[in-house]
Amino acid sequence: MSTQYLLAAGYELGVGRAVPTSAAVVALIGVVVAVLALRRPNGRLAGTAVALGLVGVIAGGVHGANAAGGLGTGNGLAGAVIAVALGLVGTALGGVALARRRVPAAGSRARG
């Protein structure tokens, strides 16, 4: 076996790494969308941020629970942990943006 194959063997992206990596990317997009929702006065993107964060949490959690072996075994456990962490951040920030959107500003009166 040549050294070229030995060097490339550690960087193979199989199913064990692709699923948590995809979940982490979705959760990261959720964090970015949540920050954008917080910066906008109407917070239109808040629901999208919460949904993307929940997808990251669920996909990362399921994969992390089913991963055989520990960190560094190539089963994607580290990616699953990152997906859960980013998903929780995205969900929390999206929830803050949703709450901010539904609460009227101080001093404003409802007309009716």
Q: What is the pLDDT averaged over residues 52-62? A: 92
Please report whether residue 22 resides in a domain: no
Q: Which residue has the higher pLDDT, 13 or 67?
A: 67
Please report whether residue 1 resides in a domain: no
Please report whether residue 8 resides in a domain: no
Please report whether residue 36 resides in a domain: no
Range(s) of the domain holding residue 86: 46-103
Q: Does the structure show a pLDDT above 70 at 57?
A: yes
Give the pLDDT confidence score for residue 20 in this predicted structure: 85
CB contact at 8 A, 79 and 87: no
Q: What is the DSSP letter of 16?
A: H
How many domains are there within the chain?
1
Please report whether residue 66 resides in a domain: yes
pTM: 0.75
Residue pLDDT, tens place only, 23-32: 999 999 999 9
Please report whether residue 110 resides in a domain: no
- The Cα–Cα gap between 47 and 91 comes to 9
Please report whether residue 7 resides in a domain: no
